[in-house]
């Protein structure tokens, strides 16, 4: 009794495997996160993110030109704010001449067609390292939304194409969308971090921006009062549908690998593009294991990226973007 149906026929050699491959990775899939610092000629490696850097504006311009040549056409900007400019209300976040606002212009000057998205949350600007304003030991929602809205307007005025609110306050997408419409910024896009979990995988990112919640008695030590509980699934759908109703153009699930079930579920549920953020801790884990010689860096990287896309990601924000594209070009 031999099998008549033999699935291995479609795996016999490289040619047939290529022919039947369902998920193809290309440079068009990626959004490249970039970290920006003050200064000139600065390219600092982030300790917990080997081979990933913070750039001053001049070297940021070189970097985006290189990305463009590789076919990477979208960036997501984050800034490291000097301590003396941090306060509770994120005042510096709406400075028209702040680092983010200058970074947007620097990228557009170096590479006018590069799509520029900006992170919107108060944490890099907050003395307390929280995404919103603190009052009586709590992150307050509505006042935070006001600042986040002003911040979003300021990014669009500086030339950003999309804002990416990562703060998880309620109602911020509606508030930002209304502010854009009021000003007739009709082309300004919103990529909402919709299902953003309170994850332990953000550690290296907080090193990169020096933005971790401060360790102090009256300050919440984590972000669990606004980011989602990782045990929850229905809540992710609820959050995502609300953001779409409020005016989001793209929704996001974050982190990536541990949340691919959520990605698939949301992809099946909604009809806007779904982005996935493969976060700093995911990057750090693979770099560390590869450094020890325990994992094959490139093979595992491609497997992970392909899995994220297979799960339903239309867009992948990843620190591996450049490595992947270089590998594809080989
Ligand atoms: C800011 C923000 C964070 C990340 C993206 N935007 C950190 C956080 O929420 O604490 C994490 C990205 C990463 O870990 O790569 N709100």
CB 220 within 8 A of CB 138: yes
Pick from 102, 42, 117: nearest CA to 72: 117
- The Cα–Cα gap between 34 and 36 comes to 7
Q: Supply the pLDDT for residue 171.
A: 98
Atom of ligand 1 nearest to the CA of 119: 6
Pocket flag, ligand 1, residue 166 (CB < 6 Å) = yes
Among 118, 197, 205, residue to substitute to test ligand 1 (most atoms within 8 Å of Cβ): 205
- The Cα–Cα gap between 228 and 243 comes to 14
Task: Write the pLDDT tens digit of every residue in 55-74.
Answer: 999 999 999 999 999 999 99
Pick from 271, 121, 291, 141: nearest CA to 209: 121
DSSP string, 163-196: EEE-S--TTHHHHHHHHHHHTT-TT-EEEEEEEE
Quote the longest CA-to-CA distance of the chain.
Answer: 77
Pocket flag, ligand 1, residue 180 (CB < 6 Å) = no
Q: Is pLDDT above 80 for 221?
A: yes
Q: Supply the pLDDT for residue 305.
A: 98
Task: Write the pLDDT tens digit of every residue in 306-323.
Answer: 999 999 999 999 999 999
Q: How far apart are the first and last CA of the chain?
A: 45
Pocket flag, ligand 1, residue 202 (CB < 6 Å) = yes
Task: Write the pLDDT tens digit of every residue in 72-103.
Answer: 999 999 999 999 999 999 999 999 999 999 99
Task: Write the pLDDT tens digit of every residue in 279-290.
Answer: 999 999 999 999
CB 199 within 8 A of CB 257: no
Domains of the chain, residue spans: 25-329
Question: What is the whole-number distance in angstroms between the Cα of residue 202 and the centre of ligand 1?
Answer: 6
196 has catalytic annotation: yes
Please, which residues have CB within 8 angstroms of residue 96's CB and are 6 or more apart in sequence?
154, 157, 158
Which residue, by CA, sits nearest to atom 8 of ligand 1? 202
Average pLDDT estimate for 140-168:
98
Q: Supply the pLDDT for residue 3.
A: 83
* 143 token code pair: 């006042």
66-96 in b/e form (b: 16+ CB < 10 A) is ebbebebbbbbbbbbbeeebbeebbebbbbe
Q: Is the ipTM of this complex over 0.85?
A: yes
221 has catalytic annotation: no
Average pLDDT estimate for 256-284:
98
**Per annotation, catalytic residue among 86, 89, 108, 196:** 196
Q: Supply the pLDDT for residue 2.
A: 80
Q: What are phi and psi of 281, to 5 degrees?
A: -65, -30
Pocket flag, ligand 1, residue 205 (CB < 6 Å) = yes
**Per annotation, catalytic residue among 86, 89, 223, 254:** 254
Q: State how far Cα 136 lies from the chain centre.
A: 30
Could you confirm whether domain 25-329 is CATH 3.20.20.70? yes
CB 274 within 8 A of CB 312: yes
- The Cα–Cα gap between 119 and 277 comes to 12
- The Cα–Cα gap between 295 and 23 comes to 23
Question: What is the whole-number distance in angstroms between the Cα of residue 15 and the centre of ligand 1?
Answer: 41
Q: Is pLDDT above 90 for 150?
A: yes
Residue 273's SS3 state is coil
Residue 147's SS3 state is helix
Atom of ligand 1 nearest to the CA of 168: 16
pLDDT band at 154 (very low <50, low <70, confident <90, very high): very high
Pocket flag, ligand 1, residue 313 (CB < 6 Å) = no
Pocket flag, ligand 1, residue 131 (CB < 6 Å) = yes
Atom of ligand 1 nearest to the CA of 131: 16
Instruction: Please give the residue that has the higher pLDDT: either 2 or 29.
Output: 29
Pocket flag, ligand 1, residue 239 (CB < 6 Å) = no
Pick from 297, 285, 93: nearest CA to 199: 285
pLDDT band at 1 (very low <50, low <70, confident <90, very high): confident
Instruction: Please give the residue that has the higher pLDDT: either 275 or 5.
Output: 275
Task: Write the pLDDT tens digit of every residue in 39-59.
Answer: 999 999 999 999 999 999 999
Task: Write the pLDDT tens digit of every residue in 223-263.
Answer: 999 999 999 999 999 999 999 999 999 999 999 999 999 99
């Amino acid at each position: 009794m031999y099998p008549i149906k033999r699935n291995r026929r479609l795996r016999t050699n490289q040619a047939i495997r290529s022919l039947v491959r369902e998920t193809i990775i290309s440079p068009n899939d990626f959004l490249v996160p970039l970290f920006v610092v003050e200064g000139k000629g600065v390219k600092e490696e982030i300790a917990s993110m080997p081979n990933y850097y913070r750039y001053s504006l001049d070297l940021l311009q070189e970097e985006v030109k290189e990305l463009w040549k590789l076919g990477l056409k979208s960036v997501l900007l984050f800034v490291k704010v000097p301590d003396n400019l941090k306060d509770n209300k994120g005042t510096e976040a709406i400075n028209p001449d702040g680092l983010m606002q200058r970074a947007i212009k620097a990228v557009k000057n170096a590479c006018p067609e590069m799509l520029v998205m900006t992170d919107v949350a108060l944490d890099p600007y907050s003395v307390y390292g929280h995404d919103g304003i603190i009052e009586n030991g709590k992150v307050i929602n509505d006042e935070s939304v006001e600042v986040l809205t002003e911040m979003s307007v300021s990014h669009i005025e500086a030339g950003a194409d999309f804002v990416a609110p990562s703060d998880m306050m309620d109602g911020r997408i509606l508030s930002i969308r209304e502010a854009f419409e009021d000003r007739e910024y009709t082309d300004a896009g919103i990529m909402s971090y919709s299902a953003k979990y309170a994850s332990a995988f953000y550690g290296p990112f907080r090193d990169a921006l020096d933005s971790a919640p401060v360790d102090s008695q009256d300050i919440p030590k984590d972000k669990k009062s606004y980011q989602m509980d990782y045990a929850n699934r229905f809540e992710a759908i609820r959050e995502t549908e609300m953001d779409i109703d409020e005016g989001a153009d793209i929704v996001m699930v974050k982190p990536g690998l541990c949340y691919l079930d959520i990605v698939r579920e949301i992809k099946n549920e909604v009809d806007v593009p779904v982005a996935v953020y493969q976060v700093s801790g995911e990057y750090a884990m693979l770099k560390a294991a590869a450094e020890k010689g325990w994992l094959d860096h490139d093979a595992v990287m491609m497997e992970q990226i392909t899995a994220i896309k297979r799960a339903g990601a239309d867009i992948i924000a990843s620190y591996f973007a450049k490595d992947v594209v270089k590998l594809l070009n080989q």
